[in-house]
Structure formats: C-alpha cells, structure tokens
Structure 1
Amino acid sequence: MRKPVMMVFSFLLMFQLLFTAVPTLSFACSCVQPGPPQEALEKAGAVFSGKVTKVTKTREFINVEFEVNTAWKGVSDRTLTVLTSIGGEVSCGFDFKTGKEYLVYASKMNSGALEASFCSRTRLLDSASSDLQELGSGTTFDRPQIEQQVTPDPSAAELKQEPKKESKQEPKKEKKEMTWFVKTVWIVIGALFLTVLVVGLIRMNRR
C-alpha cells in the first residue's frame, strides 16, 4: 500500500514542478499588412516625424514623448506623447529609442490617446524616404521658419484652415496571447493523467 501512495505523491510533485516551469507563452504579434502611405495617412489619427525625448514605462503602456519636427495630420503642438504596448514586437508594440528620429503613424484610442503600433508604417526617419516623398510637405514645427512666414503677412493668421477631422479608424491588428489556453490544457492533461493513475492504483489494490 505504501508503494502506490509514494507513486501518487511523486506524480503530484512532478506535475506541480512541470506546471510551474511552463513559461508564460506569448505568441508573436500578427498584423494586417499596412497600406501605402496615403492610405495609412487617411486611417491614422496622427502622422508626424519627430525625435524621441523620453521613454517611460507604466503598468499598461510605454509612454513615448516626442519633439515634433513635421506633422501631416492630428498634431497641433511641438511636443507630443504617444503610447505603445509593453513587450515590443511580441505584443505589437514599437521599440522606440531615446534620441532617435521616427516617422510615426499613430492611431487614436477610445480614450483619445495616440498609440503607435508595430503593425503600422511607423519607422526610423532614415528609412522613411519613400513615405516622405508620397506624404509631401507637412506642417513644420521649426519656430524660426514659422516666424519668418508670419512677419511679412500679418493677415495670414485670418486664413488659417480648420484642421480636417481625424479618422477614428484604427489599423487592424491581432494580438495572440494564449497563456490562459496553454495553462488550461496543462491542467486538463494533468487531471486526466492523475485520474487514470488513481483508477489504476485502486484496481491494483482490489486484486
């Protein structure tokens, strides 16, 4: 009788170690291929180029602060904060680096905040020459140039165009995080295995 009990105890210990050793699996980000620059511009909540001045990690997102150089849509200030998912490319987040310059296609979240995704056309500014060519000239946030444009023609302030309504359509993306599924499978397999083992031991004892 002692031997079957030790077998059950050993199995339970092994199952516990196996379950705790299973890493939290998070599958790679799966994205819908972004469209060409003009299509991405229409769908984005904001499109701009700028330099990353600060990256701050919170519990839910990574806050990325930019100093905007040029904007094509959805930007009214020289400084701007964009959110991205924690975990980098695995969770469809974009790995921004402080001091680097990027061309950013950001989508507008339900909260009104802007989010940059690995699934968008966001990229290093040095690698965005084709996008810049298709986007054309945007609004430059270079202060000296703005002063030169305003000084010779004071009436130009009256001709300001109203900003276009921003598209609230967010780029489609799929995130596959199936940790709960994997754990459930392990629990079911372990329970079945334990049931078979216990039934077998009971039959052995009856003999």
Structure 2
Amino acid sequence: MRKLAIIFSLMIIIWSIPLEKKVRACSCVELPPVSVAKEEADAVFLGTIRDIVDEDTQRIVTINVREAWKGVETETIKVYTGFNSGDCGLPIEIGGSYLFYANDFSEGEEPGFLTSTICTRTTTEMNAANDLKELGEGKKEFIQSEPSSSSNNYNVWLFPSIGGVIVVLFILSWIIRKKRN
C-alpha cells in the first residue's frame, strides 16, 4: 500500500510539471543606445494602447500599430508585460501612445509572444522624440488581422492532467479492492 501511495504521489508531481508558470526576475542595467536597442529587439514599433487585460502574473496589452521599424506585420499586436516596476511591468494606460522595443519569448510555444519591460527603451511617444528621430521613417502599412494570443498555453495540459489523475485514482481503487477480496 505504501508503494502505491509513493507511485501515486510521483505521478501527480510529474503530471503537474506542465502547469508550472515561467517567472522572470527584474534586474535592469543601463539602457543601450537606440541602434543597439533596435538590433537586440525582436520588434520595434509605435502604437496606441487599445486594451489591457490583467491575467495571472501578467498584463496582456493590445496595441494599434501606427509605425514599425522591425518585426511587425499586422496593424494590431499583443505585448505581454508585468503589473508594475516591481516585476518590470510597463507603466501604461489605455489610449496612451508608446514606442515599444519588444522581445519574443515564445520558447517553443506559439510564435509572437512579445514582451516588453521597463528594462527596454519602451517609453511614451512624448518621451521618445530622440529615439524616433534616430529610427527615421518606419513602415506604416500593415496586414489587417487580430493578434494571436499565446496566453495560458499551459492550460492545454490542464484537462489531460486531470484525466490522468482520475485514471490513476481508478486504478488504485481497483487494486485496493482486488487485494481486499
């Protein structure tokens, strides 16, 4: 019986591993020059925030893109950030215009998991005059489409994990009944 309890515990731990969320700590260094920041970023664009959704440990920001210098093909894009400076989240507001320097952290998930933090050169359009001057003219025509959302990809493991636990419980109860008889 003790062996079964140990096996059952290990199985629950193994099945719950995919539910683990990724966490990144905030540690900023001096911001790089515009040319370096553009080179290091996966996407650089100017846009107006259309919507902000707070979800678990992140904010999902939907942005209407007005001009892009790198990595943006659609007129609407989503960027993920934290809630505040403690978790490196951007201090943003719906309706605000910002110059974003974003990085793709898809890590094998759906492509386009763009993130931006206070550790990037992302700033309000009003504070981005020097960056915009150095970047020059960007692309202003985009494909009309809704942004993809790779938020909560860990949920794809939820139902299989629950199903696995139910199967294990069923097998354990069957074994215990069999031993009693």
Q: What is the TM-score of this pair, normalised by structure 1?
A: 0.53
Identity of aligned residues (%): 36
Instruction: Say whether residues 1:117 and 2:117 are aligned partners.
Output: yes
* Contact 1:57/1:63 (<8 A) preserved: yes
- Distance of 2:142 and 2:95 partners within structure 1: 18
Find the counterpart in structure 2 of residue 133 from structure 1. 133
Task: State the Cα deviation string for residues 164-207 of structure 1 (Å, max 9, x = none).
Answer: xxxxxxxxxxxxxxxxxxxxxxxxxxxxxxxxxxxxxxxxxxxx
Find the counterpart in structure 2 of residue 76 from structure 1. 73
SS in 2 for 1:139: coil
Find the counterpart in structure 1 of residue 49 from structure 2. 52
Correspondence 1:158-169 to 2 at 5 A: none
Task: State the Cα deviation string for residues 87-119 of structure 1 (Å, max 9, x = none).
Answer: x11111112100000000001102430001110
Correspondence 1:134-149 to 2 at 5 A: 134-141=134-141
Which residue of 94, 106, 109 maps to 1:98? 94
Find the counterpart in structure 2 of residue 65 from structure 1. 62
SS in 1 for 2:95: coil
Aligned length: 115
- Distance of 2:125 and 2:67 partners within structure 1: 11
Counterpart of 1:99, as a letter, is: G
- Distance of 1:73 and 1:93 partners within structure 2: 22
Counterpart of 1:134, as a letter, is: E
SS in 1 for 2:39: helix
Q: Over aligned residues, Cα RMSD in angstroms?
A: 1.8
- Distance of 2:27 and 2:63 partners within structure 1: 27
Q: CA deviation at 1:30?
A: 3.0
Structure 2: runs of 5 or more not aligned: 1-24, 144-181
Structure 1: runs of 5 or more not aligned: 1-27, 144-207
SS in 2 for 1:38: helix
Q: Moved runs in structure 1, 4+ residues, more than 6 A?
A: none
* Contact 1:83/1:116 (<8 A) preserved: yes
- Distance of 1:89 and 1:141 partners within structure 2: 33
Return the structure number with greater relative CO, CA threshold 8 A, min gap 6. Answer: 1
Find the counterpart in structure 1 of residue 104 from structure 2. 108
- Distance of 1:45 and 1:80 partners within structure 2: 13
* Contact 2:46/2:68 (<8 A) preserved: yes
